[in-house]
Amino acid sequence: MTTVKRFFTGLTAFFLALTSVWTFASTVVCAGDFGDDPNDGIVTAAERKTDLLNEIHEDAPEVTASSFILYDANSGAILLGNDYDVQKEPASMTKVMTVLLALEKLDPDDMVTISEDMAEAIDEITPDYVKLGLQEGEVISVKDLIYAAVLISANDASLALGLFMGGTEEGFCEIMNAKASEIGCVNTHFSSAYGLSTPDNVTTPYDMALILNEAVTKTGYSEIAKTLSYTIDATNKYSSERELTNGNKFVNTTTYSYEYYVGGKTGFTNTAGYTLCAAAKKNNRTLIGCVFNAADADIRYADLIKLFEYGFSTFATVEITQSEFTPLIDEAKAQIKDLLSDTNLYMAEQRVVLDPYITTTSTRAQLGSTNRLDLSQTVIDTQADHQTLEIPLCKVYSDKTYLIGTLVIDIQKKAGVVEVNPEKITNLTSVRNILITFAVLSGLILLLVIILLIFRARIIKRRRDEVTKRANML
């Protein structure tokens, strides 16, 4: 009995191993020459956001603000920062979001009438907060309110814009928070249209960078923020013009004038301290800097100028174009097409998904890079009706590899009719596959029959020997 059990156990293991081999034969593995683990050390898109923070930058400038960020708007990389995801009060930087929404939703020539409700809300603004002096019944343009909110940080102008768009300040804050979420802010909650000092009107340096970037790249905010002076014409409540002078020292002083400045906003409250966000553009590259709780009004400008200068000189933003990957993509598609030629599969659709920019150090960029398309982990299941291959596209530097995109190939099974392929006739391939399968199964059956016959012959012989042995004993 032990012999029989041992035989069938071995036979079962044999067939399981043979089945595994046959199953493996139904997949096609694309060749690759990138080592045992091609993903080892590759910086993914998600990791690129903070990857440069992990590198040592011994010559980085000292920043006095308790939390800050230097953000590359083109690539989305954080170049330098401290507590950049910690919630803090933005003070009047809040107005960037209010003005952003006004520029998106309103016509600058629209006229706003300061209603009784608006006037009551304006009267509740803390007395020492800057105001334009709006009065109940005053009719003033959206454009005038926007310039007042940005240039002199007029809190009543910002609140009037919010009430005009949202009906109530609470309603407008819902719009603000929805917009913040839309552009990727995850640690922002606005409860004020103008930056009232309150623990629940908060954002982070990173989120503030996203908001300012949206304003300077998607609207006319930059032109407004760089304006030195603006005149509000007389209204039905003011008989004379009102001259507004930009309070931002990037604009109104020579000491902190910065040639690459393209827009920003100051802020201050006793609890928030001195805050400042600014954008700078040089050689089609935009950097965003934000400082929270700076030591004083002037240092915040000096901090940002140092950050901008360091960012433009120490880091390089590289544009990624599909054309530079075309030879690799064509080669990969040809290889996959060749592998599919002996199957009933075909490439139904191909597309390339590329990140437009990556940021790395200037030193690394100057040493040059190569491009890589990694097929080594690509497996095609020849039995599947539909499958999608996602093939990594990488930019390789001397000491670092960045994943910068994907070649996406949809593979489908051909219809069950005779389709003429320029290289193959698909029904012939199917017949050949059937014949191969039949031959293998026939061989397995024949092998099983031979094994059973041998086993049967051994059992018969053993029984004969036992009979002969008993006869001799008698």
Domain parsing of the chain, residue ranges: 2-49+321-413, 61-316, 430-474
How many C-beta atoms lie closer than 10 Å to residue 323's C-beta?
Answer: 6
Q: Is the pLDDT of residue 366 over 70?
A: yes
Position 416 scores a pLDDT of 66
Residue 2: is its pLDDT beyond 60?
Answer: no
Residue 429: pLDDT band with limits 50, 70, 90 = very low
Query: What is the pLDDT confidence band of residue 83, given thresholds at 50, 70 and 90?
Result: very high
Q: Is the dihedral of CA 150, 155, 158, 161 positive or negative?
A: negative
Bridge partner residues of 301 (DSSP): none
**Mean pLDDT for all residues in the chain:** 88
Is the alpha carbon torsion for 318, 73, 263, 81 positive or negative?
A: negative
Does the pLDDT of residue 390 top 90, yes or no?
yes
Kindly tell me if the per-residue pLDDT of 41 is higher than 80.
no
pLDDT higher than 70, residue 7: no
C-beta separation of 198 from 125 below 8 A: no
Model confidence at 30: pLDDT above 60: no
Q: What does the pLDDT read at residue 437?
A: 72
Calculate mean pLDDT across residues 333-340: 91
> What pLDDT, on the 0 to 100 scale, is given for residue 17?
42
Q: pTM of this prediction? A: 0.80
**Residue 78 scores a pLDDT above 60:** yes
**Mean pLDDT along residues 100-114:** 98
Q: In the predicted model, what is the mean pLDDT of residues 373-394?
A: 91
Does pLDDT of 342 surpass 70? yes
Q: How far apart are CA 449 and CA 145, in angstroms?
A: 94
Q: What percent of the chain has pLDDT over 70?
A: 85
The Cα–Cα gap between 89 and 66 comes to 12
Q: How confident is the model at residue 472 (pLDDT cuts 50, 70, 90)?
A: low
Measured from the Cβ of residue 22, the count of other Cβ atoms closer than 10 Å reads 13
| Bridge partners (DSSP) listed for residue 9 | none
Average of per-residue pLDDT across 329-346 = 92
Q: Does domain 61-316 have CATH number 3.30.300.20?
A: no
Q: Is the dihedral of CA 251, 255, 256, 260 positive or negative?
A: positive
Distance from the first to the final alpha carbon of the chain: 27
> Residue 231 in contact with residue 242, Cβ under 8 Å?
yes
pLDDT in tens, 154-183: 999 999 999 999 999 999 999 999 999 999
pLDDT exceeds 80 at position 442: no
Give me the pLDDT at residue 311, please: 98
| pLDDT at 73 > cutoff 60 | yes
Alpha carbon 13 to chain centroid distance? 49
Mean pLDDT (whole number) for 128-153? 98
Q: How confident is the model at residue 432 (pLDDT cuts 50, 70, 90)?
A: low
Q: Are 166 and 115 in contact (CB under 8 A)?
A: no
Query: pLDDT tens digits, residue range 219-255?
Result: 999 999 999 999 999 999 999 999 999 999 999 999 9
| Confidence at 445, pLDDT banded by 50, 70, 90 | confident
Give the pLDDT of residue 377. Answer: 85
Residue 27 has pLDDT above 70, yes or no: no
User: What average pLDDT does this structure show over 24-32?
Assistant: 48
Of 308-312, 329-333, 391-395, 421-425, the one with minimum mean pLDDT is 421-425
